[in-house]
């Protein structure tokens, strides 16, 4: 034991100091390790990748990616595919520090070179590998092998296009032939029903390298409701065989369309300018030998026009048809069946499926008469897919029962058209029985009273009267005179007149239909003022929606029909029965059709909107004058 380890008292102190310094360090290390879980073993991933499409006789790579070191990689039996080389192994490491936490990743890639000697579709089964004593399997792959181009010796182009480019280069100008690059407009279906969704895909076919895109002008889809399908920003070229040649393809635009009318509809051509890298026919000497000189060539491409046959829906439409085309399910949900008066109840309808979800009309629910109703709220949750709008449309109805009692909520019907079976199908909710108990006391509005006290006039002192007094004969009495009876009759007649007028106003105010009829013109003009503002702001969709709202509201108030029950057919029949002429009725229906068409297939401009606005004002004014004359 050294002298440094012993104090004057003979006790050993320095080793104790070392132990006190070690404990905090160990604690700090333990806390740092506990806060950083990156040292935990990562989940093993073993994934296989290969091209989805290859050409017969061409080599391609089959790669297996592993995020840990493994051993004993067992390749499956490759039926129809020839193994030329492999495996070659490459390893990479990466380390990152995020918010003070360090993490590291490792990747091991095993690469094989394969070749298919026969066209067809092949399956590469799962491979297996051992990692830390455990066996892991990769995913399987599907590889489609295309036959080579029909013209031998040229891939992926053909001899004709090569000769065309060679002759052009001999004259000093490289060109792109119509077979080297073009755009096709591809329909998912061309024989369908009205409101049935289908897709149009604009696909680029090329055997050349694409350098840049120029002006793009896709065709207008008049007569359709349009929904764009999102495509990846970084487009990956896929190989596809078309007319005996193999092309690299990429989808430039994919659109979901819903036809709004029946008949034959034509989609016109679109255009696109592209720049391709084309061999010039000249070669230069380099360190690696002679090399082809490439030049950039601009080419204008046009899409093919399309014609679609749209069949009308069958005539036997049920009354509960909700303008729905596709395949749907209906799920109802009632908040409660036992409640109190003046407490809200909600009925929720979830319409799920695939079809024209955006155009579905809200189903009508027949609530009891003494239930206060509110406008339903609609929540759309759907995605744009190649088959249509897929998702859910949630409709919530809120009502407030005002009186206690037992009520029955009849079933709600929702009818849609199924294009697969070409029939109408009706979905029905169950019948609900509601028990409304008496509400809490004090919920009714209270009545206030005003207490009044007579004012007493003091009789002790009176003022002296000055001037000549006005004397009256003792035989003249006010009682029984004309003035006396007038003072009695005039207030009495005034009171009776006031009472009669008051009762008449009460009856008229109680008649909601009459009040709405009188105010229909005023409310419609108010909404048209808002439409005029949208017209000045060139907001086409908002303008047409507000004009439709003004017209449907005007018809509802004038014809005493709830908005939910209004349709083009019952408006036409009611106008004719009211005495409105055939010309004015046709004028209203034409305005409705133009607005509905413009909402989902905008066309025209400010002139068309101005014409619709002026026609609506004139038609409403003409109807008001006609109704006044009929009275």
195, with CB counted inside 10 A (0-12, 13-18, 19+), is: buried
Mean pLDDT (the chain, rounded): 80
Condensed to tens digits (0 to 9), the pLDDT of residues 569-617 reads 777 787 777 777 778 888 888 888 888 777 766 555 667 888 888 888 8
Q: Which residue has the higher pLDDT, 545 or 393?
A: 393
Least confident piece of the model among 29-43, 194-208, 471-485: 29-43
What local confidence, expressed as pLDDT, does residue 606 receive? 65
* Tokens read off for 83: 């193994």
* Residue that finishes a domain, picked among 310, 343, 376: 310
**Contacts with 111 (C-beta within 8 Å, 6 or more apart), sequence order:** 61, 62, 63, 64, 86, 87, 88, 89, 90
289, with CB counted inside 10 A (0-12, 13-18, 19+), is: exposed
**Contacts with 394 (C-beta within 8 Å, 6 or more apart), sequence order:** 348, 349, 350, 351, 378, 379, 380, 381
Based on the fold, state whether residues 217 and 81 are members of the same structural domain.
Answer: no
Based on the fold, state whether residues 363 and 287 are members of the same structural domain.
Answer: no
Based on the fold, state whether residues 184 and 99 are members of the same structural domain.
Answer: no
Number of domains in the chain: 5
In a domain, 507, yes or no: no
What local confidence, expressed as pLDDT, does residue 475 receive? 65
Based on the fold, state whether residues 378 and 284 are members of the same structural domain.
Answer: no
C-alpha angle 577-580-586 in degrees, rounded to nearest 5: 105
Neighbours of 593 (CB within 10 A): 12
In a domain, 142, yes or no: yes
SS3 label, residue 131: strand
pLDDT category, 510, cuts 50, 70, 90?
low
Based on the fold, state whether residues 61 and 178 are members of the same structural domain.
Answer: no
Based on the fold, state whether residues 189 and 214 are members of the same structural domain.
Answer: yes
- Note down the domain range covering 344: 318-437
* Residue that finishes a domain, picked among 146, 168, 194: 146
In a domain, 545, yes or no: yes
Based on the fold, state whether residues 403 and 529 are members of the same structural domain.
Answer: no
In a domain, 505, yes or no: no
Based on the fold, state whether residues 403 and 526 are members of the same structural domain.
Answer: no
Based on the fold, state whether residues 208 and 304 are members of the same structural domain.
Answer: yes
* Tokens read off for 131: 């990692």
What local confidence, expressed as pLDDT, does residue 280 receive? 79
What local confidence, expressed as pLDDT, does residue 565 receive? 76
Query: Inter-axis angle of helices 540-559 and 606-630, to 10 degrees?
Result: 10
Question: What is d(CA 135, CA 140) in angstroms, rounded to the nearest whole number?
Answer: 16
Least confident piece of the model among 67-76, 475-484, 540-549, 556-565: 475-484
pLDDT at 14 over 50: no
C-alpha angle 536-540-543 in degrees, rounded to nearest 5: 70
* Tokens read off for 181: 């690059």
CATH number at residue 94: 2.60.40.740
pLDDT at 253 over 80: yes
pLDDT category, 522, cuts 50, 70, 90?
confident
Based on the fold, state whether residues 295 and 358 are members of the same structural domain.
Answer: no
In a domain, 101, yes or no: yes
Question: What is d(CA 146, CA 430) in angstroms, rounded to the nearest whole number?
Answer: 56
In a domain, 457, yes or no: no
* Residue that finishes a domain, picked among 98, 120, 146: 146
What local confidence, expressed as pLDDT, does residue 391 receive? 93
Question: For the whole model, what pTM was predicted?
Answer: 0.55
What local confidence, expressed as pLDDT, does residue 477 receive? 67
The pLDDT > 90 percentage for the chain reads 27
In a domain, 625, yes or no: yes
Identify each DSSP E strand in 335-463 by its residue range. 338-340, 345-355, 371-373, 377-385, 388-401, 405-409, 413-418, 423-428, 432-437
pLDDT at 191 over 70: yes
C-alpha angle 322-325-331 in degrees, rounded to nearest 5: 60
What local confidence, expressed as pLDDT, does residue 604 receive? 57
CB 429 within 8 A of CB 349: yes
Based on the fold, state whether residues 324 and 225 are members of the same structural domain.
Answer: no
Q: Nearest Cα to 247, choosing from 256, 239, 258, 255?
A: 239
Q: How far is residue 303 from each of residues 194, 197, 199, measured CA to CA in Å?
A: 25, 21, 15
In a domain, 89, yes or no: yes
CATH number at residue 591: 1.20.120
Based on the fold, state whether residues 28 and 66 are members of the same structural domain.
Answer: no
Condensed to tens digits (0 to 9), the pLDDT of residues 343-383 reads 999 999 999 999 999 899 999 999 998 899 999 999 999 89
Helix (H) or strand (E) holding 501: helix 482-510
């Amino acid at each position: 034991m050294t002298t440094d380890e012993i104090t004057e008292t003979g006790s050993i102190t320095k080793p104790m100091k070392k132990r006190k310094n070690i404990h905090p360090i160990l604690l700090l290390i333990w806390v740092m390790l506990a806060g950083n879980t990156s040292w935990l073993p990562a989940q093993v991933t073993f994934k296989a990748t290969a091209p989805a499409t290859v050409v017969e006789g061409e080599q391609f790579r089959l790669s297996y990616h592993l995020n840990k070191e493994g051993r004993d990689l067992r390749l499956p039996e490759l039926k129809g595919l020839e193994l030329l080389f492999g495996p070659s192994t490459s390893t990479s490491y990466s380390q990152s520090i995020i918010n003070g936490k360090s993490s590291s990743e490792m990747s091991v890639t095993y690469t094989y070179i394969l070749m298919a000697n026969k066209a067809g579709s092949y399956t590469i089964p799962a491979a297996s590998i051992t990692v830390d004593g455990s066996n892991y399997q990769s995913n399987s792959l599907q590889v489609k092998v295309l036959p080579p181009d029909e013209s031998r010796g040229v891939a992926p182009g053909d001899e004709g296009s090569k000769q065309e480019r060679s002759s052009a280069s001999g004259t000093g100008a490289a060109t792109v032939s119509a077979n080297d690059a073009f755009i096709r407009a591809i329909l998912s279906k061309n024989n369908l029903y009205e409101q049935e969704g289908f897709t149009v895909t604009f696909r680029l076919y090329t055997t050349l390298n694409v350098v840049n895109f120029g002006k793009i002008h896709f065709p207008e889809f008049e007569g359709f409701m349009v929904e764009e399908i999102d495509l990846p920003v970084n487009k990956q070229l896929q190989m596809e065989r078309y007319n005996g040649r193999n092309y690299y393809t990429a989808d430039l635009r994919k659109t979901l369309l819903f036809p709004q009318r029946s008949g034959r509809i034509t989609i016109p051509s679109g255009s696109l300018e592209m720049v391709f890298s084309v061999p010039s026919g000249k070669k230069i000497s380099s360190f690696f030998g002679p090399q082809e000189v490439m030049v950039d060539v601009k080419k204008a491409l046009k899409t093919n026009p399309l014609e679609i046959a749209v069949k009308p829906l069958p005539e036997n439409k049920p009354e509960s048809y909700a303008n729905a085309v596709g395949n749907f399910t209906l799920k109802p949900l009632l908040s409660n069946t036992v409640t109190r008066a003046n407490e809200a109840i909600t009925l929720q309808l979830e319409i799920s499926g695939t079809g024209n979800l955006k155009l579905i009309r809200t189903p009508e629910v027949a609530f009891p008469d003494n239930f206060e109703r509110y406008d339903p709220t609609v929540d759309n949750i759907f995605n744009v897919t190649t088959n249509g709008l897929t998702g859910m449309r949630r409709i919530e109805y809120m009502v407030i029962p005002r009186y206690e009692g037992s009520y029955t909520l009849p079933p709600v019907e929702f009818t849609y058209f199924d294009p697969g079976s070409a029939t109408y199908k009706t979905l029905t909710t169950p019948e609900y029985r509601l028990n409304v108990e008496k509400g809490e006391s004090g919920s009714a509005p209270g009545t206030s009273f005003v207490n009044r006290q007579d004012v007493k006039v003091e009789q002790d002192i009176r003022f002296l009267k000055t001037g000549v007094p006005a004397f009256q004969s003792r035989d003249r009495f006010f009682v029984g005179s004309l003035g006396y009876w007038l003072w009695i009759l005039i207030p009495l007649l005034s009171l009776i007149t006031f009472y009669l007028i008051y009762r008449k106003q009460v009856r008229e105010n109680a008649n909601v239909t009459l009040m709405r009829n009188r105010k229909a013109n005023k409310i419609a003009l108010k909404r048209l003022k808002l439409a005029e503002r949208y017209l000045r702001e060139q907001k086409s969709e908002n303008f047409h929606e507000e004009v439709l709202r003004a017209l449907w509201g005007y018809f509802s108030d004038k014809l005493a029909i709830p908005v939910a029950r209004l349709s083009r057919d019952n408006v036409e029949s009611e106008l004719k029965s009211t005495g409105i002429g055939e010309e004015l009725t046709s004028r209203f229906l034409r305005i409705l059709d133009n607005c509905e068409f413009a909402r989902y297939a905008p066309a025209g401009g400010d002139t068309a909107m101005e014409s619709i606005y002026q026609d609506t004002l004139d038609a409403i004014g003409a109807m008001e004058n006609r109704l006044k004359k009929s009275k």
